[in-house]
């Protein structure tokens, strides 16, 4: 199960933008450039989540056991040959498949100095991913409540087998146990055969994906606003783009209003600001707003229904021309209509 903790006072994008630097053609700016992730997870769900965040541009630091590393370093075959010519089986393909785009630190949080080092890293992180049993990290001062005291902008994901509370919360839970508990193995395999595990760790992978989606929802400030004839989505993802939005709305003074001049201030006054924006967006048609936003650098989109999507001019410009379709008669097996 996935538990996300965050205080709604976090100037996350403001802190990230100061670290972004200037993108070049050789090093394009990715969506999460400037975001720092501390990966205190092992095996699959957590590492997979952190890897995707790294793929999207985040700086990811992985904490590993000082002698054996992540458990999956020993999971093989298959192994990939060492690049430095060392002898031995090589590096676990399993480990490599979910730990790219990361830097690794070998440290034991059970040692006082090790825990202190991780706390120092956490103080500068935007996101933490961990998958220990509930209460484990609290013993070392690495739980959300402790770390948030020095880093209130922190977004903290805890991935567990059975959640933070309840009679099973203290149980270890690997993917296959969850498959068994949820009935997935019961419906997998031949009708008259034994229960079968899915070929890949599907619950771990989907948990990692859900965690990524939750993080993105936490750090990317987009919202839909009503127009005269529908809805549009607008993203003022940083102070500069919020200023662009203000100009487009004809409200330049909002950018310097102390209630809205920083991301943390906008979060604190979100309800007021959103009402003010919608009072203006509802005065024009969606098409009028699209024309106003065009070329400004602002992220925006009209929320289309299926008919709009099928008739979208951009979609039509990419759609292949189909001259004919082949109709086939499909014979269904017994038990199907």
DSSP per position, 112-125: HHHHHHHHHHHHT-
- Rounded distance, CA 137 to CA 35, Å? 23
Q: What are the distances in angstroms from CA 229 to CA 2, 279, 315?
A: 38, 14, 22
Q: Name the residue with tokens 């936003």.
A: 293
192 an active-site residue?
no
- Rounded distance, CA 106 to CA 261, Å? 41
DSSP per position, 230-272: SEEEEE--SHHHHHHHHHHTT-GGGGG-TTTSSHHHHHHTHHH
Q: Output the six-digit token pair for 164.
A: 């933070």
- Rounded distance, CA 94 to CA 264, Å? 40
Strand-pair category, 2-6 with 155-159 = antiparallel
Catalytic residue among 204, 231, 239, 337: 204
- Rounded distance, CA 112 to CA 258, Å? 42
Alpha helix (H) residue ranges in 44-126: 45-55, 93-97, 112-123
Query: Do 82 and 241 touch, CB atoms closer than 8 A?
Result: no
Helix (H, G, I), strand (E, B) or coil at 307: helix
DSSP per position, 125-167: -SEEEE-PPTTTGGGGT-SHHHHHHH-TT-EEEEE-SS-SSST
Q: Output the six-digit token pair for 117.
A: 């080092």
| Catalytic residue annotation | 204
């Amino acid at each position: 199960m996935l538990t996300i903790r965050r205080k709604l006072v976090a100037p996350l994008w403001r802190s990230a933008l100061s670290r972004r630097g200037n993108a070049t053609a050789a090093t394009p700016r990715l969506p999460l450039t400037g975001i720092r992730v501390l990966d205190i997870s092992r095996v699959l769900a957590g590492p997979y989540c952190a890897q995707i965040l790294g793929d999207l541009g985040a700086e990811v630091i992985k904490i590993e056991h000082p002698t054996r590393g992540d458990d999956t370093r020993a999971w093989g075959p298959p192994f990939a040959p060492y690049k430095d010519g060392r002898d031995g089986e090589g590096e676990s393909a399993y480990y490599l498949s979910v730990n790219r785009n990361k830097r690794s630190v070998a440290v034991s949080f059970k040692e006082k100095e090790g825990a202190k080092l991780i706390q120092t890293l956490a103080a500068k992180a935007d996101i933490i991913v961990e998958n220990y049993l509930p209460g484990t990290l609290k013993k070392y001062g690495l739980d959300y409540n402790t770390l948030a005291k020095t880093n209130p902008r922190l977004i903290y994901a805890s991935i567990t087998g059975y959640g933070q509370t309840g009679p099973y919360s203290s149980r270890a839970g690997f993917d296959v146990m969850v498959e068994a508990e949820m009935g997935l193995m019961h419906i997998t395999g031949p009708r008259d055969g034994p229960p079968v595990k899915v070929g890949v760790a599907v619950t771990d992978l989907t948990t990692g994906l859900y965690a990524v989606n939750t993080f993105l929802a936490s750090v990317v400030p987009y919202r839909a606003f009503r127009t005269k004839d529908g809805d549009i989505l607008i993203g003022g993802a940083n102070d500069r783009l919020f200023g662009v939005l203000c100009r487009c709305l004809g409200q330049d003074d909002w950018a310097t209003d102390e209630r809205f001049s920083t991301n943390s201030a906008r979060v604190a006054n979100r309800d007021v600001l959103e009402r003010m924006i919608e009072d203006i967006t509802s005065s024009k048609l969606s098409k009028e707003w699209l024309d106003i936003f065009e070329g400004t650098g602002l992220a925006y989109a009209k929320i289309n229904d299926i008919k709009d999507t099928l008739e979208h001019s951009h979609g039509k410009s990419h759609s292949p021309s189909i001259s004919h379709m082949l109709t086939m008669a499909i014979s269904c097996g017994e038990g199907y209509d």
